[in-house]
Amino acid sequence: MSSTTESSSPDPKVLNFGVLLIHNYQWLDAAGCIDYLNNHSYGSLKLLNAEPHLLATVPIMNWHYLSSTGDLKDVPASAGPPHRPTTTFAECPELDYLVVPGPDPTGQLSEECIKFVQERFPTLKGLLTICSGSLAIAQTGVLDGVQAASNKWALGMLAKAGLLNRKVKWVGDKRFVKDGKVWTGAGVTAGIDLAAEFARVHFPKEVVELVQDISEYVPNPAQPDPFARLLEGVKLD
């Protein structure tokens, strides 16, 4: 089951995104990244009367909201309304991309969640994490040896406490990082910039610029990162 299934067009390209809902995830981590990405979809641009030649270049995006809760109970976020999952780990359809907003950086993933990520990661076209989402996913082992960004405040806190997973190559001076098919954003609002960079790589320039105008947003580059100062003197490796 999908939360959003858009009207079809002739031979449309369809992308299936999964969103991992971990209890008390940061609301803006999810909302900023997801909404900005979805602005590049066929359904969103059709509603805004985009030119037909542009609609022919963009995908239909289906969004699947994941939880381990068997009866699909609402999952609370850091703020805003609780989010009702649309599928479970066991019933989730094939995904192209998995998006992971950040939860409590010291929280532990369930065994069911860890198994799901480990099994699905090889077939994903991409994994996108925002904020402490990378710290959570590091528990699965799929980020071992991967360069990754995360919330700098959380990285510093865990490093100083001796709790940082050092199998990951943490990057402390970038707003977002791409390493292979892994896309990681730094703290909270960096998720929008991560989404903008993903869009720049995957969608036509004219579409990307149109969405920037619609959103009234100028994306920030990976560097310079004004928040790199938060990790000055902190050893991450």
pLDDT digits (tens, 9 = 90+) for 18-77: 999 999 999 999 999 999 999 999 999 999 999 999 999 999 999 999 998 666 789 999
End-to-end C-alpha distance for the chain, whole angstroms: 41
Do the domain assignments include residue 7? no
Do the domain assignments include residue 90? yes
Do the domain assignments include residue 99? yes
Do the domain assignments include residue 104? yes
State residue 2's pLDDT score: 44
Rounded distance, CA 108 to CA 123, Å? 24
4: its two tokens: 């959003």
Q: Contact at 8 Å (CB) between 80 and 35?
A: no
Do the domain assignments include residue 236? no
**Whole-structure pTM value:** 0.93
Do the domain assignments include residue 52? yes
Do the domain assignments include residue 228? no
- What are the DSSP calls for 31-81, one per residue? HHHHHHHHTTSHHHHHHTT--HHHHTTS-EEEEEEEES-TT---B-BSSSS
pLDDT digits (tens, 9 = 90+) for 172-184: 999 999 999 999 9
Beta bridge partners, 24, equal none
Structural domain of 105: 14-219
Which CATH number belongs to the domain containing residue 129 in this structure?
3.40.50.880
pLDDT above 60: residue 3? no
Q: How many domains does the chain have?
A: 1
Do the domain assignments include residue 4? no
pLDDT digits (tens, 9 = 90+) for 121-159: 999 999 999 999 999 999 999 999 999 999 999 999 999
Q: Contact at 8 Å (CB) between 103 and 133?
A: yes
State residue 72's pLDDT score: 79
pLDDT above 80: residue 9? no
